[in-house]
Copies of this chain bind each other. A is one copy, B any other.
Amino acid sequence: MHSLQFTSESSSNGMVGRDFIVGGVPGVLWSPASGAADRAPLVLLGHGGGAHKKHPAMTGRAQRLVTGCGYRVAVIDAPGHGDRPRSAQDERDIAELRQAQAEGEPQGPIIVGYNARLAELAVPEWQATLDALQELPEIGAEGPVGYVGIGLGTAIGVPLVAAEPRITAAVFGPHWPDALAAHARQITVPIEFDIQWDDEHIPREAGLALFDAFASKEKTLHANAGKHLELPRFEVDSAVRFLVRHLGLTVTSPA
């Protein structure tokens, strides 16, 4: 088992961010500056394609969860993202994607395969990260664990949540069902799932098909008018409320 090394620490707005490495994968752990409660919930955030562990979409969500809810939040760079080098295959996939974008060709067929390849690498990385985080005395293995992912973070998160019984609630964003529906059918934990009703990349039927595939007894689809990148900001707050409903807000130690 890989252990976790902290490499640096910074603090702002009531939140401490500690960079770490697990098995060569760089990540960041955010915690309340005043310290988290024993067994505080831990939320794993999966960043989008082309983004990284400290993208504003990640730090914004972390801030709400850490200072708003007293949670801990961890993000790792996906393969070929952030501080991680791109492989030759990454470069080929990205070049193909840029070419399709430049020519106005559909991106779906390229993103589906590219993201599925990254997910195969990333799922065991996330599991090793969670193992290592739960080995830390201040975290432990008792607190609830959730997952939030958008875009690539959904492509990685769906197979991760299907494989990982420690994750008991998850929020996903829009993606194609091709590589994900089979994993979604193995997921039974509560799900909140966001799609964009006028998504110019992911056909509406594809988004609805992926939502339909989740075997969860409790699942909620939020479909908002707007294009692919126009997810309304109030959905970020909705995701926080979903996590609080399922992971709890204040967790106290057993007497």
- A interface residues, Cβ below 8 angstroms from B: 197, 208, 211-212, 216-225, 232, 234, 238, 241, 245
B222 touching A221, Cβ below 8 Å: yes
A212, A217, A225 pick with most chain B CB within 10 angstroms:
A225
Residues B223 and A223 in contact, CB atoms below 8 Å apart:
yes
CA of A241 to CA of B238, assembled, Å = 10
CA distance A238 to B232 in the complex (A): 15
Q: A234-B245, A245-B234 are in contact. Are A218 and B211 (CB under 8 A)?
A: no
A234-B245, A245-B234 as given contacts; A223 in contact with B211, CB under 8 Å: yes
Contact B234 A224, beta carbon cutoff 8 Å: no
Q: A197-B221, A221-B224 are in contact. List 5 more A-B contacts (CB 8 A).
A: A216-B225, A219-B225, A220-B232, A221-B221, A222-B222
Identity of the chain B residue whose Cβ is nearest the Cβ of A241 in the assembled complex? B234
Give the Cβ gap from A45 to chain B, nearest Cβ, in Å: 22
Closest to A221 in B: B223
| The 7 residue pairs across chains A and B that have the minimum distance between CB atoms | A221-B223, A219-B225, A220-B224, A222-B222, A218-B225, A220-B222, A217-B225
Find the B residue at minimum CB distance from A191.
Answer: B225
B residues near A241, Cβ cutoff 8 Å: 234
In the docked arrangement, what's the CA distance between A212 and B195, Å? 14
